[in-house]
Structure 1
Amino acid sequence: MRAEAAEGEEGGLVCANCGSPLLEEDEECTVCGGGLAPAPSEEVPAEPVEMTPESRRLHYIEIALVLGVAFLLPVIYSLMYWLGNAKLSAETAFDALRRIIDAALAISVLAYVLYWQGRSLRRIGLTFRKTDLFWTVAIWFFDRLITSAIYQNIHGFATPKHVPAGYGGPLQWLAVIPGAAHEELIVRAFLMTEVAELSGSWAVAVFVSVGFQTLYHLYLGVPAALTVAGGFFVSAVFYASTRRITPVILAHSLHNFYYLSRL
């Protein structure tokens, strides 16, 4: 069966049924077979659009809801440790289990908010491609490069706070990927997309995302928080450039697996 051809937005021929590019007008579409079995295309995150005042207020409420559920307590505890100059306690198996539960709850709330926005996790970049492994390693490499450079410059006049190793059992390893997805889906993909839509600037979105993520890492002390902020910046720039969060989640997980392996 032949596909009917239509003119695409950029002037090329595309399948009128599924939008796949065609070389010739009477060419059979290899994606949907000319209308027999359409294949859904990957959702592409939308560019920032203008908002009405009512829509803008609603987005602020949604941001507050998602960030509140996911990070209110971490922000409070981080500021308490930082301002009170308290010593960090070693993590336990319960802490690792709690992180898994917190991640599941926060991501569920995020998915619910996205659903009412008419979007999905795929729409904010949670998709899978063959090149994800390459980009994962690339992000991790530049993360290590920048954080090492920052550490070398900070170490001379400020000593990072000591973080006790604590529990390193199976639950700690199982919590790595949920914890990475928790942070990156919300602080990176969701928050950056929302800020870009509200401000019309992905540069502002990068700044807000990195700033907020650094805020709840202040429990490590300012030197360490500034060091890890370099890695946050790498991930934020990658997301702003590609609108894809999967390699960022995997790179974050790789970083944490590497850290655990050295304990």
Structure 2
Amino acid sequence: MFLASHRRLRAEVLIVLGLSLGQSAVYSVVQLLDKMTRAPLSEATSTLNRSQSSREYFDLTYQLLDIVFALVPVVLVFYFLSSHSPLNREDAGGSAFDRLGFNFARPGRDMLQGLALAAAIGIPSLGLYAVGRALGVTTAIVPSGLDAYWWTVPVLILSAMRHAIVEEVIVVAYLLDRFGKFGWSTAVAIVVSAVLRGSYHLYQGFGPFIGNMVMGLVFAWIYTKTKRVMPLVIAHALLDIVAFVGFSLFGKAMGLG
């Protein structure tokens, strides 16, 4: 029974990752190899939030559909973590949202922690990006390739929130829960989570891989201490909002696009 439970648990994790960030990691490695075999990484560009149609409202539709469907694996995670799942009967005392700290139980404290984390991670990340570009191991990163429509900024904010929820809920809260059930030590679970985070950013080059891996180590360690994913979601969302919206509004004017 114990072995059967572990097999189901491993299958569950593979399904979640295959539908979400594990799939992204595989594509990221292939994209990195594609870029490296075309030209030096310093000459390559990685564009986030790409336009998907030259027709304004079709582009908007595609953007919103991408955001909605990207959140489906998160819904699946909460289902798997709920007491309805036979693998979680022992956790029937509370909801999956409460167990992961993905709720609004302490909004003020979560916001302050999120702001502090965003500042602590964001400022060194800029320096690491500059070093990576100087060394030729990081591509030029364009945070937004969307045209300037009335809906561009709201969609970029939603995109930032999507990335924050998907990454922090799945790569930190969910995986650390499942790795613990595998019997892994906390240190091993944190490192594997962080390496996965870095790997799906490899398409941007080796600098972002290292930077995101360090971010993953910090975020996962904090989660093991607080058991709340909400401050991590807030911090991640703030970082992406500043990058996406800031570039969209000022990037071209500053000669960055």
What is the deviation of 1:145? 4.5
Q: Does 1:143 align with 2:121?
A: yes
Deviation, 1:114, is 1.4
Partner residue in 1 for 2:252: none
Q: Secondary structure at the match of 1:126?
A: coil
Q: Answer yes or no: is the 8 Å Cα contact 2:169–2:229 preserved in 1.
A: yes
- 1:210-231 residue CA offsets vs partner (Å, 9 max, x unmatched): 1111111111011222123222
Alignment of structure 1 residues 164-175 onto 2, 5 Å: 164=142, 165-167=144-146, 169=152, 170-175=154-159
Determine the C-alpha separation between the residues in 1 that align with 2:163 and 2:117: 18
Out of 41, 63, 66, the position equivalent to 1:96 is 63
Distance change in 2, residues 1:145/1:206 (3 Å):
farther
Count of residue correspondences: 213
Q: Which TM-score applies when normalising by structure 2?
A: 0.73
**Percent identity (aligned):** 24
Normalising by the residue count of structure 1, what TM-score does the alignment of the two structures yield?
0.72
Provide the rounded CA distance (Å) in 1 between the counterparts of 2:186 and 2:65.
Answer: 33
Gaps of 5+ in 2: 39-43, 52-58, 248-257
- Residues 60/99 of structure 1: CA separation in 2 closer, same or farther (3 Å cut): same
Q: 1:52 to 1:145 in 2, by over 3 A?
A: farther
The alpha-carbon distance between structure 1 residues 72 and 228, as it changes in their structure 2 partners (threshold 3 A), is closer
Cα distance in structure 1, aligned partners of 2:219 and 2:205:
21
The match for 2:109 among 125, 131, 137 is 131
Contact 1:66 1:109 in 2 (8 A): yes
* 1:191 aligned residue: 175
Instruction: Note closer, same or farther for the CA distance 1:80–1:254 as it changes in structure 2 (3 Å cut).
Output: same
SS in 1 for 2:97: coil
Alignment of structure 1 residues 1-263 onto 2, 5 Å: 52-85=2-35, 87=44, 88=46, 91-92=50-51, 93=59, 96-115=63-82, 116=85, 117-118=88-89, 119=91, 120-127=96-103, 128-129=105-106, 130-148=108-126, 150-151=128-129, 154=132, 156-164=134-142, 165-167=144-146, 169=152, 170-263=154-247
- RMSD over aligned CA atoms reads 2.4
Give, as a single letter, the amino acid of the residue that structure 2 aligns with 1:104: L
Structure 1 alignment gaps of length 5 or more = 1-50
Q: Deviations over 1:187-210 (max 9, x none)?
A: 110001111232342111110111
3-state SS in 1 of match to 2:161: helix
Structure 1 counterpart of 2:138, which letter? P
Higher deviation after alignment, 117-126 or 93-102 = 93-102
C-alpha distance in 2 between matches for 1:203 and 1:99:
34
Contact 1:139 1:251 in 2 (8 A): yes
Q: Indicate if the aligned counterparts of 1:187 and 1:209 stay in contact, CA closer than 8 A.
A: yes
Q: Which has the larger radius of gyration?
A: 1
Measure how far apart 1:257 and its partner are.
0.9
Deviations 1:98-137 (A, max 9, x none): 4312332111211221121245132122133131111111
Larger RCO, structures 1/2 (Cα 8 Å, 6+ apart): 2
User: Which residue in 2 is equivalent to 1:11?
Assistant: none
Q: Which has the higher helix share?
A: 2
